[in-house]
């Protein structure tokens, strides 16, 4: 899911709609009434309701069963469903992007939208906790002006923290968290992320990603906890952190609705199978049914059965069953067997399915066929960021023509309403700002620091170079030593992320080393004199990317304002030339040389270069608290991390995964040296 896209890949659907048709979709448009006493009230369907001290509409409870909090949720849902028109039901199945309604929030009311989202980089002004809460509440006020006053559900990609929000705690990406081998830590992190997210308005996160990444050339590898389905399944525990562990906890002000993604097989696609200029992202999972269940479906069994995930998001990818020969892939957004028969049937999933960003636009056929296919496959809510109006009109036509059955619509809406009731939105539709001051708090950053330290994997430590002495004279070099944007990676303030030391608050790795008490000389390119240094720490690795633009051999992103139209470096499993050069220069000059690799996947280290390196550390993408890296470098915490992804000897070994025949990586799955 994302916001910004390459202009060549955008498939926008611009529909000019007659005013009469727009008005017809609002079952009973709200009218403003000005009472004689000077207060404000609204009339909806002939019933007036008042406003709160902030002038926001309040839900008018005049005895409707669906507004009786004492009744079981299932009874409230059925009562509300019986009151709804077809237009109102279709509205609940529709999600628009905030950018499409910000200029005119009344569109939420007119089109009866059930949900709004922020894509990557889609933020309010100011981009602050207060700014977010005000924005979400402004949108919610419009939803409460509709006839039945069904609250809005707001979704955001809090995938490693509330990453769109400037000042939020930014945790390591999943590849780093997977290397902690600590599901309880991941659960605690998800709880903090939920608290920071809900305090600012959104009640729903498009997380966790439980993809099983089987090829490090994939641009989303860092979103994967592990190449091993068993380890990924353990991290489904994050759902408990988001949603809570007890019935009714979802309505608390520190919990959010989870969305387990991307169902299923997105990390197992074949290199070269992707469409367009991507090489592996959104490609085809070519597999037999037994392996699909064992590898790709496995994490969803616990996500649904044990952790009761509230929503599931299908993958952009396709599956091609080898039992009937290769060459006839089925897009996941069209896969009725896997969505309806398996997920909702065999796995007994009782939440709702949300499409990925314009996911049905990739299905075969014309627009009406795409809409019909997606709904009939079992998708309940549709992420139509800019095509929401056309989607609603088309789905209404499909139902009236009998090509989509009314019971399918009712099933979708029933699932959506159930989650809205479970979130307590009918009782408290506006943002509970109790924890607003805790966003980016010292306690939250301390947890992030702990996670960073536990995620570091010590791959090599010749002669016990690590840990370093606290008072050592340390020469620090490398482009990733002092760059907050690079160490946070993609999905940080924008879809693709961006390079830049001041991009987010926190501490860079260099700052963490300086805070540890060492005598530091810093030279980004290694050009400063090295004489007198006890040890060197060279920090190299990748620059930010997301999804297909992170595919090895894929397209190069130039569209963020920070890029100035200049394409970013081509993605590779090899260290970039600038990184190789600084490693050679510094490690050739300083007797004890430590190399940290800040990256979203393993990076191949040539044997000749590895021989010059005394200690090698996989630092992954640590996020906002670089001092966690310094904690293990100087022995404040021991190295305990272990590889959750195999580290290849050469790029041509990919795909390489534990259990493969002739498995021979440079560092195997589970590898990780320890220090005291």
Instruction: Kindly report, residue by residue over 97-155, the tens digit of the pLDDT.
Output: 999 999 999 999 999 999 999 999 999 999 999 999 999 999 999 999 999 999 999 99
421-433: average pLDDT: 98
Relative orientation angle of helices 367-377 and 406-422, to the nearest 10 degrees:
60
In this prediction, residue 1 carries a pLDDT of 53
DSSP code per residue over 487-556: HH-SSSSSSS----TTSSSSB-HHHHHHHTT-EEEEETTS-S--TT-SEEEEEEE-----GGGGSTT---
Query: Does residue 8 surpass a pLDDT of 90?
Result: no
In this prediction, residue 562 carries a pLDDT of 84
Q: How confident is the model at residue 49 (pLDDT cuts 50, 70, 90)?
A: confident
What is the H or E stretch that residue 461 is in?
Answer: strand 457-461
Active-site residue list: 356, 547
CA distance 481 to 538: 7
Percentage of the chain exceeding pLDDT 90: 91
In the beta sheet, which residues pair with residue 604? 574
**3-state SS class at 204:** strand
Percentage of the chain exceeding pLDDT 70: 93
The reply to whether the predicted model has a pTM over 0.85 is yes
In the beta sheet, which residues pair with residue 597? 540, 618
332-384 pLDDT, tens digit each: 999 999 999 999 999 999 999 999 999 999 999 999 999 999 999 999 999 99
The CATH class of 65-423 is alpha beta
Count of CB atoms within 10 A of residue 435's CB? 19
Q: Which residue has the higher pLDDT, 113 or 42?
A: 113
CA angle centred on 409, ends 407 and 410, rounded to 5°: 60
Q: Which CATH architecture has domain 456-653?
A: 3-Layer(aba) Sandwich (3.40)
64-73 pLDDT, tens digit each: 999 999 999 9
468-477: average pLDDT: 97
Domain range list for the chain: 65-423, 456-653
Query: Does residue 41 surpass a pLDDT of 70?
Result: no
565-578 pLDDT, tens digit each: 999 999 999 999 99
535-559: average pLDDT: 98
In this prediction, residue 428 carries a pLDDT of 98
Query: Does residue 503 surpass a pLDDT of 70?
Result: yes
81-108: average pLDDT: 98
Whole-number CA gyration radius for the chain: 26
Query: Across the chain, what does the average pLDDT equal?
Result: 93
| Domains 65-423 and 456-653 belong to one CATH topology | no
User: Nearest CA to 144 among 90, 189, 105, 179?
Assistant: 105
């Amino acid at each position: 899911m994302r916001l910004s896209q390459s202009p060549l890949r955008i498939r926008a659907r611009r529909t000019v709609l007659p005013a009469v048709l727009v008005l017809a979709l609002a079952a009973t448009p709200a009218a403003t009434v000005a009472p004689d006493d000077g207060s404000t009230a609204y009339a909806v369907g002939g019933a007036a309701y008042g406003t709160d001290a902030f002038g926001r509409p309040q839900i008018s409870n005049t005895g409707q069963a669906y507004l009786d909090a004492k009744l079981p949720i299932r009874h409230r849902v059925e009562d509300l469903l019986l009151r709804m028109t077809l237009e109102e039901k279709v509205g609940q199945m529709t999600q628009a992007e905030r950018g499409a309604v910000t200029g005119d929030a009344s569109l939420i009311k007119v089109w009866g939208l059930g949900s709004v989202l922020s894509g990557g980089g889609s933020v309010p002004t100011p981009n602050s906790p207060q700014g977010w809460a005000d924005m979400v509440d402004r949108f919610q006020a419009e939803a409460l002006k509709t006839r039945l006053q069904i609250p809005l559900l707001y979704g955001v990609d809090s995938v490693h923290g509330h990453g769109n929000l400037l000042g939020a705690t930014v945790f390591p990406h999943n590849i780093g968290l997977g290397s902690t081998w600590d599901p309880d830590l991941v659960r605690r992190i998800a709880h903090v992320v939920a608290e920071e997210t809900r305090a600012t308005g959104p009640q729903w996160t498009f997380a966790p990603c439980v993809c099983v990444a089987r090829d490090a050339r994939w641009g989303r590898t860092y979103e994967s906890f592990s190449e091993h389905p068993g380890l990924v399944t353990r991290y489904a525990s994050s759902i408990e952190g988001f949603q809570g562990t007890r019935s009714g906890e979802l309505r608390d002000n520190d919990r959010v609705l989870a969305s387990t993604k991307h169902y299923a097989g997105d990390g197992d696609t074949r290199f070269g199978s992707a469409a367009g200029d991507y090489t592996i992202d959104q490609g085809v999972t070519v597999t037999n049914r037994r392996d699909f269940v064992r590898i790709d479906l496995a994490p969803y069994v616990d996500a649904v059965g044990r952790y009761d995930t509230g929503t599931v998001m299908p993958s952009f990818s396709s599956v091609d069953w080898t039992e009937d020969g290769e060459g006839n892939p089925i897009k996941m957004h069209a896969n009725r067997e896997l969505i309806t028969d398996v997920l909702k049937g065999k796995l007994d999933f009782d939440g709702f399915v949300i499409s990925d960003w314009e996911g049905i636009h990739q299905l075969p056929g014309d627009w009406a066929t795409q809409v019909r296919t997606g709904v009939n496959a079992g998708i309940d809510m549709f992420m139509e960021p800019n095509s929401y109006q056309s989607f609603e009109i088309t789905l209404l036509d499909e139902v009236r023509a009998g090509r989509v059955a009314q019971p399918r619509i009712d099933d979708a809406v029933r699932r959506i309403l159930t989650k809205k009731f479970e979130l307590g939105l009918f009782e408290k539709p506006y943002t509970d700002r109790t924890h607003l001051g805790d966003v980016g708090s010292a306690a939250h950053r301390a947890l992030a620091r702990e996670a960073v330290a536990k995620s570091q994997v010590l791959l090599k430590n010749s002669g016990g170079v690590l840990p370093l002495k606290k008072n050592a004279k340390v020469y620090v070099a490398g482009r990733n030593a002092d760059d907050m944007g690079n160490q946070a990676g993609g999905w940080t303030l924008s879809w693709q992320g961006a390079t830049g030391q001041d991009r987010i608050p926190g501490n860079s790795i260099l700052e963490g080393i300086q805070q540890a008490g060492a005598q530091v000389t810093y030279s980004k390119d290694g050009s400063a004199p090295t004489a007198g240094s006890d040890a060197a720490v060279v920090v190299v690795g990748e620059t930010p990317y997301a999804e297909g633009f992170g595919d090895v051999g894929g397209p190069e992103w130039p569209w963020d304002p920070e890029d100035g139209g200049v394409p970013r470096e081509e993605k590779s499993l090899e260290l970039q030339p600038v990184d190789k050069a600084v490693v050679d220069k510094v490690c050739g000059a300083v007797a004890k040389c430590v190399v940290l690799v800040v990256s979203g996947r393993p990076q191949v280290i040539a044997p000749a270069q590895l021989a010059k390196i005394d200690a090698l550390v996989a630092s992954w993408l640590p996020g906002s608290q670089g001092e966690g890296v310094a904690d293990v470098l100087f022995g404040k915490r021991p190295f305990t991390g272990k590889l959750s992804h195999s580290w290849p000897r050469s790029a041509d070994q990919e795909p390489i995964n534990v259990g493969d025949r002739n498995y021979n990586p440079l560092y195997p799955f589970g590898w990780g040296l320890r220090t005291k």
